[in-house]
Structure 1
């Protein structure tokens, strides 16, 4: 992650906001689902889930590549567990993340070391975990649970 990363968000209309990541990246339209918004783009909770899943995926890939391993396809699914706080406000209480490698565990060397360390490389999930629990599961290409 860039030390000077920033985004600018500007209201367009209703609950639609234009997210500007800077000159080098395309803008993104964010919107709340109906009935508040029109669902014309991802909502803030979608972007949080995407950030956690993307960071964990990139961290797993980085850890594998340290050992010159290629996972093949890599898929991440992040699902929130919603609930109400003591003031009855809706909150994301937990995020469930499943990472799935394209190859089997037998095809990847040093997988035990990779699985033991890769989460520590993820700036986003380690930061989010300070306020929201994250349950992580890693499966190989055959569906075997490797972690979690």
Structure 2
């Protein structure tokens, strides 16, 4: 098995405890506001996203960006999309909560018939998604893509 090679760093992230279980996350992006996180009650207030939600958001964002990239490769420039994602939690043998699966649904804002090379874009976009392919090593990720009529484009 080939050893992975580090190509570039992802960037430096800093977390600062604000109170209770709420952290300010600084992504090191000049001019960008810190993201506040929290945990669900009874430990935190649940007023901000928790770690599980950030993981699901990262997967959904990466898949959406990868699909957009793949569509644009085939000159599909103006393709609105809306992505929803859900995680399923379960307990492991020690009774600890774990993310057991992630489901992502991407709805394109146009009819499938209006898109160039859609089959090719759909066949390859998940391979471009760094986060999803990394997460899939430990967590099942199901991805479905729909057009504006609700027709399922992927299986």
TM range (shorter): over 0.9
Q: 1:70 aligns with which of 49, 66, 77?
A: 77
Where do 4+ consecutive residues of structure 1 move more than 6 Å?
none
In structure 2, runs of 5+ residues without a counterpart are: 1-7
Q: Determine if the alignment matches structure 1 residue 137 to structure 2 residue 155.
A: no
2:57 paired with 1:50? yes
Q: Give the Cα separation in 2 of the matches to 1:52 and 1:12.
A: 26
Q: Tell me the equivalent position of 2:112.
A: 105
Matched, 1:12 2:11: no
Corresponding position of 1:124: 131
CA drift at 1:86: 1.2
Q: CA 1:139–1:71 in 2, change beyond 3 Å: closer, same or farther?
A: farther
**With structure 1 as the length reference, what TM-score do the two structures score?**
0.94
Q: Cα deviation per residue 1:62-107 (whole Å; 9 max; x = unaligned)?
A: 0000011035321111101111111111111110011110011101
SS in 2 for 1:147: coil
Residue 19 of structure 1 aligns to a residue whose secondary structure is strand
How far off its partner does 1:5 sit? 1.4
Unaligned runs of 5+ in 1: none
Report the TM-score when normalising by structure 2. Answer: 0.90
Which residue of 17, 21, 25 maps to 2:27?
21
